[in-house]
Chains A and B, each alone.
Chain A
């Protein structure tokens, strides 16, 4: 124990407590006095002001919704704008009987019976003095029909509001997304006061991803209302102390998309199910972003009927499905340039050594035949020829010698197996198989072992491997810049509509592929140039006559695997089970300005279906005046 032991002194404690209590009492009285002064100020000094606000006429705050920002393409072509439209709004505190009122609207055929539960839930979730839109975009005829019966519907009114309009219809819809009525679910993630008076919110695509930029800040105005809650104008309004604040419109988005190229690309895939992503490899700007079939986003802002929605939802071609962003497909042979780079980098292949292709490959000690796409084989092949003719057996052998770990590692460095980081949400990561992945993904011990055959399958982009068209375009862009990689993006600048000030967003790099020597890049890229060149390049036909040099790679992805003895017979296979056609390319090969991927579901052959589409897109971008004659 230390020397200074203090003893409890009850008397001094009690004295202390008394002193402190007196001090607390004094403080409390002071605070109460301050409160009394505040109350005196409110209830006596400013009583007249507040009495005027509360009695007879009352103040109501009306929100003034901000204008949503525009979306324009790289040349300023408007892709999304705002147009005035009529909508029906219900202010619940003024409606004597909400059920009866809604039933009346059903009778007038302004809303549908089935929507009533949703409407009532929405009405309950908003504050009682706020107008809740219960029907968007009335037609002129509907406005007239309601106007005749308006006196029967106290608390329900027609309002003019700005709604979202996409002037080009379904063009670029899978990039733009759409807006629709704010749902209960949306309310949980937004600040309601920011959305007072606003009826639409971004649901998907850019409209969703850039909601914060596009939305803006609401303003308000105080209005005087009479006992029935109707706004009134008073001569003394100026001195009633009413205030207002203007809404601040949302920012405009400037996209990297080029609508001309986008249209050509969409036209080229018309009637097909597929996707195109075209990227400027010097900065990651997305030039075209296509997923077909598309749909018209305009009705979403108006509010789709459940029949309209299920028509879209149940369509066998799945128009709502964003194939470019969320469709995962085996990449097929399009990844062979990366397989070649992996083998070169690890020095497990001599690119000039000739191997003989006899149409199939067998692993040592096994009789299982890994077939080449060309049953009779390609004959003698070096790396250049194997890339140009897409010889499978060459790459089977190269991948087997390389091993899965190094192969998987290199494919990962080109961004496969993880999201590219594009600036709209919902992107799929695809699947990059590896020893660790298989260990995690399967439960049965026998399934968790990595087999040499799995490696063989990856080498031609089959087996477990899955990629999105966006990832393949990003991979092509990275190859074209010899490892320099940018995050793909749709928005290049944000413009403040009031000041006109444009804030450019700098391109973001995305994990460059470093350390590969120029000579090895040459091998891969020359192989890709061979693909589009005579005499035997698989895509030579599509590249014929192009005034610029194209580097490409065709791919064909099996939808299901063919049995060992079964003969591959296209005719008997139902159309939907046909192979997917793929093509990745960049051009001009020596100074790339565009890199792209094309996917055509069940398009059978990359060279026959996908490569001609890619040529049209590259022409549209590189030769805007049309091909020289």
Chain B
């Protein structure tokens, strides 16, 4: 009994010590735990998907480290500075996008990269955070819900970078950034009647926008509607990923045993289509657990946003969480054939540097916004 009590209190002490440490570092334990759990799982899957190539896992591990470092650093920055710099980051980002449009490197048929000599950098990644911060900055001092003028100004603030990025062409990222800005407006309390007017309007715009899409983007949409139509081109991805997921069944074929992935039938299996590798090797159960973990992270993020006490903090935190959901849903949806293929990585799992760091930076900001709040009335 004595011993047991001792152990319990030691455990409690350790726990409260680490809680204190997290608190001092202005981090949220539950959110951080969720993020790390998903990322570690991602590393394991990546090792399998890359045909046991340790270089992939090692590279991704280093990026995860860098991402966590950025997260911890940003969590220390006081929100008032974040708010102060939001417009500057936004303006700088738009300028960088313009530079990319003029002189950027072309990779895979799209012009996204800015070569700074020592590092290649995608300004669109910066905009993933700059756009919601800018929108929240704009709304911070204004009465909510936003009036018509504010709505139009916000629409402009969102559309400029979105148009520049869609033109690169990077439809997936443009979509995500547009969503992150729209979420700020929705959370700020856009009136329902405005929403109900805008939705049909957007459908009309989509119809018009169709004519401005690049050929390959149109083909993706058409292939989404009927992948079997184009099994040599765009449909190949979806057909192979559906075979991978479907053949995984309830329990999966087992870690490193997915034939679609291991025998390289599945294209882009370490990047955009890694969700299918999980489906093949871990089955429906594995996918549901992973989606559950994502929902936990999103839910925790929203909860922290609710606890924030000023407009800027609430809106940015809420937008970061909801955008994260869009990531997950669009990637999982496209890989399983529920939504069109729009080149969005599976957050924290897909191989690739910038997206991991940007996501972690977003959550770092979220934690800063939450942990620096004034504890009034509690």
Contact = CB atoms under 8 A, between A and B. Distances in A.
Interface of A: 6-10, 12-14, 16-18, 20-21, 24-25, 28-29, 31-32, 34-36, 38-40, 42-44, 46-47, 49-51, 53-55, 58-59, 61, 63, 93, 128-129, 191-194, 196, 218, 220, 222, 243
B333 interface: yes
A42 B336 contact: yes
Contact of A39 (B234, B287, B305, B311): B287
Contacts of A38: 333, 336-338
A32 to B, nearest CB: 6
B236 interface: yes
A191 B230 CA distance: 12
Nearest to B285: A43
B250 A16 contact: no
B172 interface: no
Given A17-B187, A17-B189, A63-B232, A43 B305 contact: no
Given A43-B283, A50-B242, A35 B291 contact: yes
Interface residues of B, number: 58
A34 B336 CA distance: 11
17 contacts: A6-B143, A8-B311, A13-B189, A16-B144, A17-B306, A20-B187, A21-B302, A25-B299, A39-B288, A43-B284, A43-B287, A51-B246, A192-B233, A193-B232, A193-B234, A196-B233, A243-B228
Given A31-B329, A35-B336, 19 more contacts: A16-B144, A16-B189, A18-B306, A20-B186, A24-B187, A24-B302, A28-B322, A36-B291, A42-B336, A46-B246, A47-B249, A50-B242, A50-B247, A55-B247, A58-B263, A58-B265, A191-B233, A193-B232, A220-B232
Contacts of B236: 61
B142 interface: yes
Interface string B228-260: 101111101001001111111110000000011
A192 B145 CA distance: 50
B249 A13 contact: no
A54 B244 contact: yes
Nearest to B144: A13
Contacts of B263: 58
A619 B264 CA distance: 66
B174 interface: no
A195 B8 CA distance: 69
A46 B250 CA distance: 11
A61 B231 contact: yes
Contacts of A55: 247, 259
Contacts of B298: 28
Contacts of A13: 144, 188-189, 311, 314
B295 interface: yes
B47 interface: no
B146 to A, nearest CB: 11
B332 interface: yes
B132 interface: no
Nearest to A197: B232
A61 B145 CA distance: 54
Contacts of B187: 17, 20-21, 24
B198 to A, nearest CB: 15
A14 B318 CA distance: 12
Interface in B120-169: 141-145, 147
Nearest to B244: A54
B325 interface: yes
A186 to B, nearest CB: 15
A298 to B, nearest CB: 29
Given A17-B187, A28-B325, A39-B336, A51 B314 contact: no
Contacts of B279: 39, 42-43
A598 B298 CA distance: 79
A39 to B, nearest CB: 6
Contact of B189 (A20, A31, A43, A61): A20
Given A16-B145, A42-B246, A32 B329 contact: yes
Contact of B284 (A29, A44, A46, A194): A44
Contacts of B141: 8
Nearest to A12: B144
Interface string B204-245: 000000000001000000000000101111101001001111
Contact of A196 (B143, B232, B246, B337): B232
Nearest to A58: B265
A34 B330 CA distance: 12
Given A28-B295, A193-B233, A35 B332 contact: yes
Where chain B touches its partner, the secondary structure class is helix
Given A21-B318, A32-B295, A40-B284, A128 B264 contact: yes
B26 to A, nearest CB: 22
Nearest to B234: A193
A17 B318 contact: yes
A35 B244 CA distance: 16
Nearest to A23: B186
Contacts of A35: 291, 329, 332-333, 336, 338
Interface in B302-337: 302, 305-306, 311, 314, 318, 322, 325, 329, 332-333, 336-337
A1 to B, nearest CB: 14
B291 A43 contact: no
Contact of A36 (B142, B215, B228, B288): B288
Contacts of B234: 193
A34 B338 contact: yes
7 closest residue pairs by CB, A with B: A50-B246, A193-B233, A54-B247, A6-B143, A16-B189, A42-B246, A50-B247
B315 to A, nearest CB: 8
A44 B250 CA distance: 6
Q: B215, B230, B336: which has the most chain A beta carbons within 10 Å?
A: B336
B245 to A, nearest CB: 5
A53 B242 CA distance: 10
A222 B236 CA distance: 12
B63 to A, nearest CB: 27
B284 A39 contact: yes
Q: A17, A93, A194: which has the most chain B beta carbons within 10 Å?
A: A17
Contacts of A36: 288, 291
Contacts of B186: 20, 24
Interface string B177-193: 00000010011110000
A63 B231 CA distance: 9
A25 B296 CA distance: 11
Contacts of B245: 39, 42-43, 50
Contacts of A191: 215, 233
Contact of A8 (B144, B248, B288): B144
Contacts of A6: 143, 147
A14 B376 CA distance: 15
Contacts of A128: 264
Contacts of A21: 187, 302, 305-306, 318
B232 A218 contact: yes
A270 B248 CA distance: 71
A43 B250 contact: yes
Contacts of A63: 232
B143 A7 contact: yes
A14 B373 CA distance: 14
A205 B337 CA distance: 43
A36 B234 CA distance: 24
A58 B247 CA distance: 11
B111 to A, nearest CB: 15
Nearest to B183: A24
A61 B279 CA distance: 22
Contacts of A24: 183, 186-187, 302, 318, 322
A6 B248 CA distance: 57
Contacts of B244: 54
Contacts of A43: 245-246, 248-250, 279, 283-284, 287
A58 B295 contact: no
Contacts of A222: 231
A474 B284 CA distance: 71
B247 A51 contact: yes
